[in-house]
Amino acid sequence: MIDTHCHLTFPDFQEPAYTGGTAAVLRKAAESGVTGCITVSTTPPDAAEALSVAVRFPNVWCSAGVHPLYSDEGPHDWGLLRRVAAHERCIAWGELGLDNHYKEPARATQDAVLEHHLALIESCRREGLDKPIIIHCREAFDDVLPVLRRSTLDPARFVFHCFTGTPDDARKVLDFGACVSFTGVVTYKNASGVAEAARLVPADRIMVETDAPYLSPDPHRGVRPCEPWMASVTALRLAQIRGVAWDEFHAQINANAARFFGVS
């Protein structure tokens, strides 16, 4: 399986913090059946860095995006972001969206970056550069969904990553038409609402990720860094939560990642 969302550019996965660096992270992942990773970016320079990792390792792909919690680190080099997005090893836009969990950056700043980001994605699409979109949405479903609905982009091209909302939030995302992706949060004992939401997602619209280096799944909760190999732990638990045989769920998430991101 593939870890569809991690951050391999973070210092947690470089030497000296991580002995052996990215190669060792990927080796360990492969030993747990996690044979590929999508390293997701948070700023234009980080996207360039993520692309260099994706170019170096055949089983790593990257995305190009400005994360809402980095929206105040502008002015953003949208030209650089676009150049990264045009590369064949870059297989998605993101992560972009809104985060109401923290007071900073100000919502006006987050809103402006999201609008600009979507406009760039739309103009690229008109020019034939068409990639799926990874959405970061934390406590902001009623703010993000109307913005996406106003865009000209196909709802099926969006994935709401690291879903931590309520079953009601999940229904809203599913009504919109997007995919939903789960991290280790779905394994936490105090996150029964997220597990309930995971049962609502149709088999062909669910994906699995780590968001490493954050959010290690149970029984590794609190371990930093969370690593791509732990996607296998979350996937096993998700199959149980949904009451589906592992082989069936495994095949389904692989098919979904292959269809959505075009990688396997």
Q: Which spans of this chain sit near Zn ion (rule: CB under 5 A)?
A: 211
Is-cis flag, bond preceding 68, omega within 30? Answer: no
Which residue lies nearer to Zn ion by CB, 12 or 171?
12
Kindly state the smallest distance separating residue 244's Cβ from Zn ion, in Å.
Answer: 26
Kindly state the smallest distance separating residue 120's Cβ from Zn ion, in Å.
Answer: 19
Which residue lies nearer to Zn ion by CB, 3 or 169?
3
Kindly state the smallest distance separating residue 181's Cβ from Zn ion, in Å.
Answer: 10
In terms of DSSP H, where are the helices of 43-90?
44-56, 78-85
Query: From CA 248, how far away is CA 229, in angstroms rounded?
Result: 20
Kindly state the smallest distance separating residue 40's Cβ from Zn ion, in Å.
Answer: 5
CA-based Rg of the chain, rounded to a whole angstrom?
Answer: 17
Kindly state the smallest distance separating residue 222's Cβ from Zn ion, in Å.
Answer: 18
Interior CA angle at 143 toward 156 and 131, to 5°? 30
Which residue lies nearer to Zn ion by CB, 45 or 242?
45
Which residue lies nearer to Zn ion by CB, 7 or 240?
7
Kindly state the smallest distance separating residue 161's Cβ from Zn ion, in Å.
Answer: 6
Which residue lies nearer to Zn ion by CB, 169 or 211?
211
Mapped to the 3 state alphabet, what secondary structure does 14-48 carry? Answer: CCCCCCCHHHHHHHHHHHCCCCEEEECCCCHHHHH
Amino acid (1-letter code) at residue 238: L
Which residue from 237, 233, 238, 235 is spatially nearest to 223, judged by alpha carbons? 233
Burial of 263 per CB tally in 10 Å (0-12, 13-18, 19+): middle
Which residue lies nearer to Zn ion by CB, 49 or 211?
211
In the bound state, the residue with its beta carbon closest to Zn ion is 211
Interior CA angle at 261 toward 179 and 98, to 5°? 50
